[in-house]
Structure 1
Amino acid sequence: MDFQAFLITFREALEALLIIGVIVTYLTRIGESKWNKWVWLGVFLALLSSYGVALAFQVVLTGFAAMASHIYLKIGILLVSSALLTHMILFMAKQGRDMRGEVQSKVAAILTTGSVINMLVHAYLITLREGIETVFFFAAISGGDIEQAIRSWGALLGLVVAIVVAWTFFRGARKVPLGTFFKITGAFLVLIAAGLLVQGVGIMQDVGMLGTLYKTPGGQIGALYDLTWLMPEHPQDYEHYLRDYGVAPLIDGQVGIFFKAFLGYTQDPSVEEFLAYWGYYFLVFALIVRQRKKESAAVETPIIQP
């Protein structure tokens, strides 16, 4: 169980730390680090909320059947987080163009109240999502004894390693020119937001909230393609493939489950998951292009003197 706890904690903590790190680094790079305390407040409140969820399932609820209701909370968090992150992507794209890399000697970016609230709420939601997922994963591997999993050396070591990896990543990011930083983090956040969206779509199909355009002869949700042979999205899928075909997939399921949680990877996507994933990229690209055209038109419009 210790090794399982290590993998779970490392994966969930690293995802949250990377996203929170992007927000904090972004605020610092544009000279608005005074807002960082509110981001960390969101993280702290999310940790308290996650602890409350763990306590509720440990003390109040009994049996895994009672935990089924968490799925609807997870769907809501995934979709809201994707929307908030999209707003942040567009906001960062606008600021990145206005600053023009290192040309300006002083950053004149002004954060609106709405943008600050967006970052705080997103920091809360992304941490809460990872915290709740960790609680349910711990419940599964410990047979319901969540406290035992939390106190294991694997959970502590996973958290420490995630912090070290995230710190190393953002320490190097400080040396990256501001314009390059915005481009890299912008692309990074688009990938994460698309993954959150497609995870939400997939879960809604699993619980019957969303239908499909393509079904198998047996009436099940059909897949456009199947990449289990390359990288299964879960260790169980890895074992099942090895059992059924006598050969192991090229990439281990532990890698697949990381990319699933981090970027929304799916080994056998439905039509809706495929369209949601690639449609999101098209939508964000269209919104950024539209935003640039509006800004260009505003700059080129001549000012008529009275």
Structure 2
Amino acid sequence: MDLQSFLITFREALEAILIVGVILTYLKKIEQKQWNKWVWVGVVLALIASYGVALVFQTVLTGFATMGSQNYLKIGIMLVSCVLLSHMVLFMSQQSRNLQGKVENKITAILTVGGALNMIAHSFLVVVREGVETVFFFAAITGGDIQKALQSWGALFGLLLAIVIGWLFFKSTKKIQLKTFFRITSIFLMMIAGGLLVQAVGIMQDIGMMGTVYKTPGGEVGELYNLTAIMPEHPLDEVQYLRDTGNQPLINGQVGIFFKAFLGYTQNPSVEEFVLYWAFYLVILILLGMQKKRHEKVNQELNQDAA
């Protein structure tokens, strides 16, 4: 959970910091620094709003738990988070190529229209989007205990690293390759999204919301294979395996629970869990490939027009 919190916080905070940094840098470049205070007003309001959303989520999730409906809310949050994380990977793969130019154009339009409220609204929306997404993702990876993720070392170090990277980007004389950061974090976020998908499928099959093509003679969801002897997905599974067989698994359950939280590892997946997990990666890779080809085609057309 700590590693997931770290990656999510780092990615979301870095994007917000970069965009706000571009706004402030551009205002300085065009000698309009008087607008800086309104940018910071928007940022502070967005942080307050994001914290408020976290409190609402915590309250709602607790209420659902007491009503015995937490599983349904968990499934919904996991699936929506999977979609949002996937969209983030695809969106940032495209937007990071010219992030600064797009932000500067937007600020120029805002200043043309004029008004402090416009500047506050823009900086507010930039930060609150990242804040709300962070809250949503935290709800997904913790099963609703958002406070646990907010207080983890992962969230703290993710925020600190994002601040350091953002500061270096705008202050250092060396050009930091943000594409590399986004590419690396995109890989990890894609893994988290795939893990959330397979966990949602597993819960749906456990409570009977989703069927299976392979059942045991007793009518239960059948397992495609069983790797408990190699690496149980939880310390409790390790204890049970040791009790039933008298043998110690090759890798202990503490490692298994890490891979389950981070990658969606399952010691005995159903056919649907296995197929959907790898199909997810295949679809994302295909979409990224199509996006790259489309970008290369546009560049070629622009180069031909320039020639």
TM-score w.r.t. length of structure 1: 0.71
Q: Any residues of structure 2 matched to 1:34-113 within 5 Å, and which?
A: 40-41=47-48, 43-53=50-60, 56=63, 61=66, 66-67=67-68, 69-98=69-98, 107-110=100-103
Query: What's the CA shift string for 1:114-140, capped at 9, x where partnerless?
Result: 9877644422311333565438xxxxx
Q: Which amino acid aligns with 1:290?
A: M
3-state DSSP class of the match of 1:233? coil
Deviation at 1:288, TM superposition (A): 1.2
**1:95 & 1:271 partners in 2: Cα distance?**
36
| 1:46/1:128 contact within 8 Å kept | no
Of 121-130 and 187-196, more deviation after overlay is shown by 121-130
**1:38 & 1:248 partners in 2: Cα distance?**
53
The aligned counterpart of 2:118 is none
1:130–1:280 Cα change, 3 Å: closer
| 1:78/1:200 contact within 8 Å kept | yes
1:226 aligns with 2:226: yes
The aligned counterpart of 2:145 is 134
Q: Which amino acid aligns with 2:139?
A: L
**1:196 & 1:55 partners in 2: Cα distance?**
20
1:271–1:43 Cα change, 3 Å: farther
> Tell me, which stretches of 5 or more residues in structure 2 are unaligned?
24-38, 107-121, 169-175
Query: What's the CA shift string for 1:68-89, capped at 9, x where partnerless?
Result: x100000000010111111111
| 1:79/1:197 contact within 8 Å kept | yes
The aligned counterpart of 2:11 is 22
> Tell me, which stretches of 5 or more residues in structure 1 are unaligned?
1-10, 100-106, 136-149
The aligned counterpart of 2:271 is 271
Q: Any residues of structure 2 matched to 1:211-222 within 5 Å, and which?
A: 211-222=211-222
Deviation at 1:234, TM superposition (A): 1.6
TM-score w.r.t. length of structure 2: 0.70
| 2:79/2:200 contact within 8 Å kept | yes
1:48–1:239 Cα change, 3 Å: same
1:84–1:32 Cα change, 3 Å: farther
Deviation at 1:16, TM superposition (A): 3.0
What is the percent sequence identity of the aligned residues? 41
Deviation at 1:167, TM superposition (A): 5.5
| 2:238/2:249 contact within 8 Å kept | yes
Q: Which has the higher helix share?
A: 2
Q: Any residues of structure 2 matched to 1:60-209 within 5 Å, and which?
A: 61=66, 66-67=67-68, 69-98=69-98, 107-110=100-103, 119-130=130-141, 132-134=143-145, 159=151, 161-163=153-155, 165-166=157-158, 177-209=177-209
Q: What is the alpha-carbon root mean square deviation over aligned residues?
A: 3.6
Deviation at 1:290, TM superposition (A): 1.4
3-state DSSP class of the match of 2:59? helix
| 1:192/1:264 contact within 8 Å kept | yes
